Structure 1
Amino acid sequence: MSDPLVKICGVKDAETAIGAARAGADFLGFVFFRKSPRFVSAEAAEEIILDLKQASFDEGFAMPRLVGLFVDTGEKELSVAAPLLSHFQFHGHESAERCEELGAEFGVEVIRAIPVTGPDDVAAAKEFAEAADILLFDAKPPPGAVRPGGYGASFDWSALASYDGETPYLLAGGLAPENVADAIASQKDRPAFLGVDVSSGVESAPGVKDAERVKAFLAAAKK
């Protein structure tokens, strides 16, 4: 297995973005979903990205790929954010056909989130095999939840043993510096495993990234 890729999601400020990229993050995620404590506007994300690009140029670290998280978002909002991004990440009711259409229309790659509690949910990923460039297996949110993730909940990683698709996938849900190495080890023999995604596990409070935990997560994942 090649080194796992790491996505730091829910970035809200330039300091976090630059620190994560400097420490080796492969993807940074911006949450364009207003009910999330990690919400940023497209205008705020653009300012962060400008600062990030300048720091990348000045310091010589690689620019991560930039992901926008959306939940049943209208095309007008997508069109504003698209020029900033390499990937759309969909967490709503977007069908496979719709994911494919939007990726093509806006010239971005598509990450499709698949909420998981067990193997039956993993099987549901098959419908997105052609439509998504990357799948994101994440813990299913609790009943009555108002947002699709970021609760620090996990699922049984062994459920992914039933995944036999070729579309690469990221593992998310309840990951933190303390358990990410185990999560990666659990997937190491799976050819489609691409890497890990973290949000709440590197925070000191909802929506507040902790720079030391971000660095610790990246170090543990890349080890």
Structure 2
Amino acid sequence: MSGPLVKICGVKDAATAIDAARAGADFLGFVFFRKSPRFVTPEAAEEIILDLKQAAFDEGFAMPRLVGLFVDAGEKELSEAAPLLTHFQFHGHESPERCSELGLEFGVEVIKAIPVTGKGDVSDASDYEEAADIILFDAKPPPGAGQPGGNGVSFDWTLLSAYEGETPYIVAGGLTPENVGEAVKGQKSREAFLGVDVSSGVESAPGKKDDALVKAFISASKG
């Protein structure tokens, strides 16, 4: 499948990981933030990844890149998960310097989430131009949400016209199989646009992915 890259975030079990990878997901995200309904331990993620690698080998589908989502995590937390991952995704107050240091220290690529409410937020992403490998533009969490992403809230994608950086970016926030085609259509002419990210938009309940919705989302994104 061609088209934008697709990230399925908040994977909690091997069946979901395998089904998503089989359907063409390019990234799978594991949430290492305890307050999230999608939280997994590094041990649980490792089991899922072992099963996924076996299925990829047996069936011949491509292994997705493996992303760990963190919010202001300490070294211990990062070091436990790093050997499993290709990317760290930071949703906290990590500075550009911190992002750059951690990527080098642990030998992973860095995705930095930028919560968006206005054009100023999009312009601020330029601070991470050298520090992150990918920028993830997400909707700002509603008051009292308790988690930085996966809230099913969208933002005005036209605001991304303010982004002038060269670092590739991914669009997240309130995407579903129904609206992702529109989101992609509005971005695909932009050189830095890399792909889309979904969590709650492919769930039947918080933290429970729906295989049919995952497949529909990937198909709508890449179609």
Q: What TM-score, normalized to structure 2?
A: 0.99
Identical pairs, percent:
78
How many residue pairs were aligned?
222
Instruction: Identify unmatched segments of 5+ residues in structure 2.
Output: none
* Residues in 2 aligned to 1:126 and 1:151: alpha-carbon distance in whole angstroms: 25
The secondary structure found in structure 1 opposite 2:144 is coil
Deviations 1:109-150 (A, max 9, x none): 000000001101101101100000000000000123311011
Map 1:132-171 to 2 at 5 A: 132-171=132-171
- The one-letter amino acid of 2:152's match is G
Q: Corresponding residue for 1:55?
A: 55
The secondary structure found in structure 1 opposite 2:125 is helix
* Residues in 2 aligned to 1:118 and 1:199: alpha-carbon distance in whole angstroms: 22
* Residues in 1 aligned to 2:199 and 2:156: alpha-carbon distance in whole angstroms: 18
Deviation of 1:45 (Å)? 0.0
Contact 2:69–2:91 under 8 Å retained in 1: yes
Q: Corresponding residue for 1:30?
A: 30
* Residues in 1 aligned to 2:18 and 2:222: alpha-carbon distance in whole angstroms: 18
The secondary structure found in structure 2 opposite 1:173 is coil
- The one-letter amino acid of 1:177's match is P
The secondary structure found in structure 1 opposite 2:137 is strand
Deviations 1:163-219 (A, max 9, x none): 010000000000000011000001011100000000000000000000000000011
The secondary structure found in structure 1 opposite 2:39 is coil
Q: Corresponding residue for 2:91?
A: 91
Deviations 1:63-121 (A, max 9, x none): 00000000000101100100000000000011000000000000000000000011011
* Residues in 2 aligned to 1:39 and 1:144: alpha-carbon distance in whole angstroms: 18
* Residues in 2 aligned to 1:64 and 1:169: alpha-carbon distance in whole angstroms: 18
Q: Corresponding residue for 1:130?
A: 130
The secondary structure found in structure 2 opposite 1:102 is helix
* Residues in 2 aligned to 1:123 and 1:143: alpha-carbon distance in whole angstroms: 23
* Residues in 1 aligned to 2:189 and 2:57: alpha-carbon distance in whole angstroms: 36
Q: Corresponding residue for 1:16?
A: 16
* Residues in 1 aligned to 2:149 and 2:199: alpha-carbon distance in whole angstroms: 9
Q: Corresponding residue for 1:106?
A: 106
Q: Corresponding residue for 1:4?
A: 4
Deviation of 1:4 (Å)? 0.2
Q: Corresponding residue for 2:181?
A: 181
* Residues in 1 aligned to 2:23 and 2:134: alpha-carbon distance in whole angstroms: 23
List structure 1 runs of 4+ shifted beyond 2 angstroms. Answer: none
* Residues in 1 aligned to 2:144 and 2:123: alpha-carbon distance in whole angstroms: 24
Contact 2:31–2:39 under 8 Å retained in 1: yes
Q: CA RMSD in A?
A: 0.7
Contact 2:145–2:151 under 8 Å retained in 1: no
* Residues in 2 aligned to 1:44 and 1:143: alpha-carbon distance in whole angstroms: 30
* Residues in 2 aligned to 1:161 and 1:189: alpha-carbon distance in whole angstroms: 11
- The one-letter amino acid of 1:135's match is I
Instruction: Identify unmatched segments of 5+ residues in structure 1.
Output: none
